[in-house]
Structure 1
Amino acid sequence: MAIVKTERHPDLPPPTSQTGVIGWMRENLFSSPLNIVLTLVAGYVSWVALSSLISYAFIDANFAGTTREDCTGSGACWVFIKMRFGQIMYGFYPEEERWRVDVGYVLVAIGLFFVLSDVVKDKKWPAIYLFGFVPVACYILFSGGYFGLEHVETAQWGGLFLTLVLASVSIFVSLPLGIVLALGRRSSMPVVRMICVGFIEFVRGVPLITVLFMASVMLPLFLPEGVNFDKLVRALVGMSLFASAYMAEVVRGGLQAIPKGQMEAAKSLGLGYWQAMGFIILPQALKISIPSIVNTFIGLFKDTTLVLIIGLLDLLSIVKSGTTDKEWIGMAQEGYIFVAAVFFVFCFGMSRYSIWLENKLHTGHKR
């Protein structure tokens, strides 16, 4: 009598050599003789470079002390960063008033958390808080002169604090302005299109240093007598306008990638131009443009170092000026490493959030 098995045998798990870390390494690092050689060479070079860097920055580094004479080892002298940390973070902001800057950081962090994360599904009130309440509250906190707060001149702002102010304001202003310019460049009205094209091409044809120089030095010459703007405000206007021109081209590229049938379908449903653009076209265009938009933001964040030309001491400038102090001459290497690490953290954070947002919205359109 024959015995026939009717039950399905459970599927066996894939071999360990094809999954997990081992599988990834076999597929990406050791898939061929050439890849094996390249992996070994790259690993050796990375080991030599990282071991020297780790030894210099941590193992042989000096962390304790208050003066340069306390740095006796062959590694980095982080005593310089420790003693100058307050100035590097806040510039020349009064020490007893720095709590106002910290409160502003907390307000911004809360707004960004609820707007950029999925904790709250309805973004209306978090957006109103971040773009409406926070700028006013931060202006009152940072500048003072209201509610009994001591007024602090913008000339005393500096360090990482000034860098974040320049970057955040320029980013938040350049995106909506860039969208308006992109729509204007694609407008059917000749005058509007010519104005937008002329602005975009003119700004993209000159370096940011020129724009900052014009905004800080030349602009006051064209203003009526007695009318003047703060140097920081002029820098913010110049950087925002400069970034908006590049942002306009990024958004325009996204708009051109949307098929014309999307607009035609919106019109067939009875939607007007602005309704179709706001609810159908722009969301798709901005989703496609996420990598380029974040790339522009990262470039703008790094370009804040150029404000030194108009006398503003950002993070890099304040560290560089600290190394000219006779007590800390020769500490430029430690200062530049610290600045590079700070910029890397912010830029890498924006990059990782961009990747997360792309995966969430399926921006890659993988097939």
Structure 2
Amino acid sequence: MTNPQLLWLRKNLFSTWYNSLLTIVCLVFLLWVARGILIWTTTQAQWAVIQVNLRLFLVGRFPQSLYWRVWIVLAIASSLAAVTWGAFSSRQHLTKRAVVLPTLIIGLLLVVLPLNFLSRLWLLLVAVFLSVGFWIGRGFSKVISPWLSIVWLLSFPVILWLIGGGFGLQPVSTNLWNGLLLTLLMAAVSIVMSFPIGVLLALGRTSNLPIIRWFCILYIEIIRGLPLIGILFLAQVMLPLFLPVEVRLDRVVRAITGLVLFSAAYMAENVRGGLQAISRGQIEAAKALGFNSLFVVILIVLPQALRAVVPAIVGQFIGLFKDTSLLSLVGLVELTGIARSILAQPQFIGRYAEVYLFIGLIYWLFCYSMSLASRRLERQLSN
């Protein structure tokens, strides 16, 4: 241990006798807790509940004969994510860790997960797509970066087509979209749809037209004053009443509608905070140069406003991803709902700790990944 580290320990943890005592007590407590967790994990926990029901956690009741569609969807999403990661990574931060870490994670999954031979081959193929996509993004970042958002948007219809079927593929009812598959689909579609609506609401709230401004204000304040679970129930029960009798919206579509309506109101307030950070002088200077109001907003105001509130926007996305857990209360069997179904199995009654620790780990992995991507994007935009 180097001298600076010793100085830091002495200054922050052992500066006085009572600080030293408190540090020792905290260390003993942490060791005691870690020992208890380790003993429970290795000798008392019944991880068979995860091993036996791993398929249910991930894809629920999706037909096993059509798993190849899910693997293709995973390959598409992984490739696009790797290309995006590579394109937005600065060259000076290029290290072996950027490729070694995902490879180690996938290797660990191959060893730990109870997969058959075909599934292991698919997972290896996904690992290849990750590596190739990352290096393509790094090598052609200037060419690829302007088109990434369009490619992501075009990938969503393809993914929904592969999951839902139709147009030449065997249809799969949304009642069979369960587990992590449904959670990710609901979160991704809701995030993509709520972002532009939130931006429009934020612009409308700052509009000079009284009708548009007051409509946006009323919508934002009313939605923000209601709990999400109430909006989800309204979307499931009340939304069909406003549609023609021959139009029957799927439960998944109604749930997405509730999530989008709720998230857009909060997104609007986040974006409005960024809009208020833009000085009036920039807008007046742009108009003096001959820009009309539309180009001022698109080219000058919005880019700066969105850049200023990237942490708040990503925080909203993370909150929306976690809010999908409430969908189990309106009859959709997403990740939390499938966990409740698994806990109802006679051989696994009472295994709450193992099941909820596992789904908690899944939520944390995805939320931390979004947070990590947010920090990388902030550094890229600040350069």
Q: TM-score range by the shorter chain?
A: 0.7 to 0.9
Among 67, 84, 87, the alignment partner of 1:98 is 67
Q: Which residue of 2 aligns with 1:165?
A: 185
Deviation at 1:354, TM superposition (A): 1.9
Q: Given that residues 115 and 127 in structure 1 are in contact (C-alpha distance below 8 angstroms), is that contact kept between their aligned partners in structure 2?
A: no
Deviation at 1:285, TM superposition (A): 1.3
| Higher RCO (CA < 8 A, seq sep 6+) | 2
Among 5, 17, 28, the alignment partner of 2:3 is 17
Deviation at 1:47, TM superposition (A): 2.2
Deviation at 1:274, TM superposition (A): 2.2
Task: Summarize the Cα distance change of 1:25–1:103 in structure 2 as closer, same or farther, 3 Å threshold.
Answer: farther
Q: Which residue of 2 aligns with 1:264?
A: 284
Among 212, 215, 218, the alignment partner of 1:192 is 212
Q: Distance in 2 between matches of 1:38 and 1:107?
A: 51
Amino acid at match of 2:27: G
Among 159, 163, 176, the alignment partner of 1:156 is 176
- Percent identity, please: 40
Deviation at 1:325, TM superposition (A): 1.3
1:87-145 alpha-carbon deviations (Å, 9 max, x no partner): 1100110111122112112212222332344232342222221112x111111100112
Q: Given that residues 111 and 127 in structure 1 are in contact (C-alpha distance below 8 angstroms), is that contact kept between their aligned partners in structure 2?
A: no
Task: Summarize the Cα distance change of 1:29–1:174 in structure 2 as closer, same or farther, 3 Å threshold.
Answer: farther
Task: Summarize the Cα distance change of 1:277–1:166 in structure 2 as closer, same or farther, 3 Å threshold.
Answer: same
Amino acid at match of 1:145: G
Among 319, 341, 349, the alignment partner of 2:339 is 319
3-state SS of 1:121 partner: helix
Q: Given that residues 320 and 332 in structure 1 are in contact (C-alpha distance below 8 angstroms), is that contact kept between their aligned partners in structure 2?
A: no
2:150 counterpart of 1:128: yes
Deviation at 1:241, TM superposition (A): 1.3
Deviation at 1:248, TM superposition (A): 0.3
Task: Summarize the Cα distance change of 1:289–1:344 in structure 2 as closer, same or farther, 3 Å threshold.
Answer: same
Q: Distance in 2 between matches of 1:106 and 1:348?
A: 21
Amino acid at match of 2:28: Y
Q: Given that residues 91 and 156 in structure 1 are in contact (C-alpha distance below 8 angstroms), is that contact kept between their aligned partners in structure 2?
A: yes
3-state SS of 1:327 partner: helix
- The 5 Å alignment of 1:281-296 reads 281-296=301-316
Q: Given that residues 174 and 241 in structure 1 are in contact (C-alpha distance below 8 angstroms), is that contact kept between their aligned partners in structure 2?
A: yes
Q: Which residue of 2 aligns with 1:144?
A: 165
Q: Which residue of 2 aligns with 1:210?
A: 230
Amino acid at match of 1:45: F
Deviation at 1:220, TM superposition (A): 1.3
Q: Which residue of 2 aligns with 1:48?
A: 32
3-state SS of 1:224 partner: coil
Tell me which moved more, 149-158 or 99-108: 99-108
Task: Summarize the Cα distance change of 1:38–1:351 in structure 2 as closer, same or farther, 3 Å threshold.
Answer: farther
Task: Summarize the Cα distance change of 1:361–1:316 in structure 2 as closer, same or farther, 3 Å threshold.
Answer: same
3-state SS of 2:346 partner: coil
Q: Given that residues 255 and 282 in structure 1 are in contact (C-alpha distance below 8 angstroms), is that contact kept between their aligned partners in structure 2?
A: yes
Q: Given that residues 175 and 244 in structure 1 are in contact (C-alpha distance below 8 angstroms), is that contact kept between their aligned partners in structure 2?
A: yes
Among 225, 234, 243, the alignment partner of 1:223 is 243
> Which protein is richer in helix relative to its size?
2
Amino acid at match of 1:270: G
Deviation at 1:335, TM superposition (A): 0.5
Tell me which moved more, 259-268 or 108-117: 108-117
Deviation at 1:34, TM superposition (A): 6.0
Q: TM-score with structure 1 length normalisation?
A: 0.84
How many residues are aligned here? 330
Q: Which residue of 2 aligns with 1:68?
A: none
Q: Distance in 1 between matches of 2:378 and 2:6?
A: 27
Q: Which residue of 2 aligns with 1:177?
A: 197
Q: Which residue of 2 aligns with 1:4?
A: none
Deviation at 1:236, TM superposition (A): 0.7
Tell me which moved more, 212-221 or 85-94: 212-221
Deviation at 1:17, TM superposition (A): 1.7
Deviation at 1:158, TM superposition (A): 0.6
Q: Distance in 1 between matches of 2:271 and 2:142?
A: 25
Q: Distance in 1 between matches of 2:15 and 2:368?
A: 29
3-state SS of 2:45 partner: coil
Tell me which moved more, 224-233 or 267-276: 267-276
Q: Distance in 2 between matches of 1:154 and 1:349?
A: 27
- The 5 Å alignment of 1:218-257 reads 218-257=238-277
Q: Distance in 2 between matches of 1:84 and 1:269?
A: 63
Deviation at 1:242, TM superposition (A): 0.7
Q: Distance in 1 between matches of 2:20 and 2:366?
A: 34
1:38-84 alpha-carbon deviations (Å, 9 max, x no partner): 54343333222222223322x32xxxxxxxxxxxxxx2111111111
2:54 counterpart of 1:85: yes
Q: Distance in 2 between matches of 1:175 and 1:34?
A: 51
Q: Distance in 2 between matches of 1:235 and 1:197?
A: 24
Q: Distance in 1 between matches of 2:254 and 2:382?
A: 39
